[in-house]
Amino acid sequence: WLFWLTFDGMRSAAEVSVPTLMVHSDGCVFPEYAKAVYAALTGPKQIEWTKGNQIDFNDQEDQVGSAVPLAVSHFRRTLGVDQMVSATR
């Protein structure tokens, strides 16, 4: 817990230039802090503000069901998965 409670994501946020997807909600831990970290990111970024509590995104159908397609789309777009699949056919 000590590492988690003392981690300062803001200090490094401005150095993050890789494409980033954040899925968060007002019911998750520190929503205002998450918005501030998102604002400080310097690379391509997308934030999806949804509903749910912190652990709902681990195993609740509504939250997982909405987050997974966002992640799949993000990785396909940023890693060029569709282009890699097409090239192997």
pLDDT, residue 3, reads 84
**What percentage of the chain has pLDDT greater than the value 70?**
91
Q: Quick one: pLDDT band at residue 7, thresholds 50, 70, 90?
A: confident
Q: pLDDT, tens digit, for every residue of 13-52? A: 999 999 999 999 999 989 999 999 999 999 999 999 999 9
**Which residues have C-beta within 8 Å of that of residue 35, sequence separation ≥ 6?**
24, 47
Give the integer Cα–Cα distance in Å for 24 and 36.
12
pLDDT, residue 6, reads 86
